[in-house]
Amino acid sequence: MRNGDEVDEESTRRVVIYTDGACSGNPGPGGWGVWLRYGEHEKEMYGSEKQTTNNRMELMAAIRALESLKKPLPVLVHTDSSYVRNGITSWVENWKRRGWRTADKKPVKNVDLWQRLDEVASRYDVEWRWVRGHSGDEGNERADKLAQRGRDEAAGR
């Protein structure tokens, strides 16, 4: 919550999600983090992979957040990844039309995760909002710390 017991109005109408990914090296050990809020309820999640990329961890955060939802409520997803936001709001429809190929006919990178995100996002009314990373946004900072925890576990720290 923002101010003690005060519940912000945004999180009473829809699930508010913050996602982030982290990677040491690219590829290297990586982690993803998620902070979800709905009314007075909050949930934190994180995970990791020993050998991955930052983009894959950004995608995994969004996927795992949406997969964790139990009711078909409206959702607001905050991400500091232009790759995720632009991909799911602009690029994915063209990729599907082209058989998961880019405009220059190359296979879409991370197609397995894009297909998974597209499928799970289709179950919800999702608004995708980009937020500047490391700018003091409470939700982004929390998701970042969770992603770092996952990355550090993957790296054996």
Rounded alpha-carbon distances, angstroms, from residue 79 to 17, 97, 124, 157: 9, 25, 17, 26
- Given the residues 47, 49, 80, 150, select the one marked as catalytic: 80
- Given the residues 20, 30, 47, 150, select the one marked as catalytic: 20
| 21 is an active site residue | yes
Residues in the chain: 157
- Given the residues 58, 78, 139, 150, select the one marked as catalytic: 58
| 20 is an active site residue | yes
- Given the residues 40, 42, 93, 134, select the one marked as catalytic: 134
- Given the residues 21, 30, 87, 139, select the one marked as catalytic: 21
Burial-class residue 68 by CB neighbours within 10 Å (0-12, 13-18, 19+): middle
- Given the residues 47, 49, 144, 150, select the one marked as catalytic: 144
Positions annotated as catalytic residues are: 20-21, 58, 80, 134, 144
